[in-house]
Amino acid sequence: MGKNIDYMMELVNEYLLGKIPRHIFELDFETEILDRYKKMVREDRNYAEYFYDMLSEYGVDVGDGLSDTEFKKLIRRQYKKVKGIAEDGFW
C-alpha cells in the first residue's frame, strides 16, 4: 500500500494491541483520516474508500454508546475486513 494507508492501518493496529487508549485513538483517528484521506485515495482509491467505510463510518463513527470492550471488538472486526481485502484483493 502507500505510506498514508499504512499509517492508518498501523494506527488502528496500535489501538487493538493496547498501545493507545480509546479516547486518544478516537481523537487521533478522526484527525488523521481527515488529513490523510485524499492522499490515501491517490495511493489506492478502492482500498481507501473501503477503509473509510469499514473503519470510519461503520467503526469509529458508530462507537458512541458502546463499552470499551464492545468498541474494541467492533474495531477489530472492521480491521479484519479491511486487512482481508489487502490480502485477497477486491475481486
Summarize pLDDT for 17-49 with one digit per residue, the tens: 999 999 999 999 999 999 999 999 999 999 999
Sign of CA dihedral 42, 43, 44, 49: negative
What 16-24 contacts at long range (C-beta under 8 Å, 24+ apart), as own/partner pairs, is 16/72, 16/75, 16/76, 16/79, 22/68, 22/71, 22/72
Could you tell me which residues come within 8 angstroms of residue 35 by beta carbon, excluding any fewer than 6 positions away?
A: none
Q: How many domains does the chain have?
A: 1
Q: What pLDDT score does 19 carry? A: 98
pLDDT of 88 strictly over 90: no
How many CB atoms are located within 10 Å of the residue 4 CB? 21
pTM of the model: 0.91
> What mean pLDDT comes out for the span 55-60?
97
The domain of 84 spans: 3-88
